[in-house]
Amino acid sequence: MPQQAGRLEGKVAVLTGAASGIGEGTARRFVAEGARVVVADIQEEKGLRVAKSLGDAARFVRTDVTQESDIAGAVDTAVAEFGQLDVMVNNAGIVGAVGSIVETSAEAFDATMAVLARAVFLGIKHAGRVMLPRRSGSIVSIASTAGVQGGLGPHVYTMAKHGVVGLTKSAASEFARRGIRVNAVAPGNTVTAMTADVVAGDPDDRDAVTETITTMSPLRIPGLPEDIAAAILYLASDEARYVTGQTLVVDAGQTSGSGGPVPFHRQGAEVIREAGRRGIDD
């Protein structure tokens, strides 16, 4: 029986923040599905290790996403090394400024937005630069449940992630007629080093953060980088050829209100009317 081709067979991708967490999981899944990837990350040692483990299908480029020249360089590396760019994943992220809005400095605000919002804008810009002449490509940016609902993240993080959702729609509206799709994925709580640092105060304490996320999950299972990678893979692949301008939420139902029983979902059914009246008939 002939071996089935991977879902990204022959495609080339750039992934920012691919040295760890969701980015690393996505890079590994992409290569397993037939893609060649550029691992673009500021973490040089980890990034080199990931790229090396992926063999000839990967290249590492040290990338500080707050620098436009670095993002442009990662895109140019894909074209120089692999001949094209089919997929751009804007994944690099930080928690950024935390604390009360009245105590947050403008400098902390700017530093956070540079990574979480400005870098996504620049990633879309430079991916578009090389995709537009070919009239083909898929751009996927990482938003967050904090980008679709308030109260799930720090203030600046929440603002930036809402911006990613909005920019996704805006860029999709420009690029659609030129053959390029632009989408986003909004992960919920996911087991990563960054989450472990926030939850347990130790980026290496995977067990603690897994237990915490499992307890918080409406499905009672932890969100793993592989779960988010699967969503990114779908949007990157030709299976999503009719999907653009969308944000796919992957959160075990957290933002849908699946976290617990709702009074209106109790057993039995009725019609509740004005002034305490019940039923349909007068």
Q: State the CB neighbour count (10 A cutoff) for residue 180.
A: 23
Burial of 75 (0-12, 13-18, 19+ CB in 10 A): buried
Residues 190, 209: Cα–Cα separation, whole Å: 9
Residues 125, 170: Cα–Cα separation, whole Å: 12
Q: Active-site residue numbers?
A: 157
Burial of 206 (0-12, 13-18, 19+ CB in 10 A): middle
Residues 82, 135: Cα–Cα separation, whole Å: 18
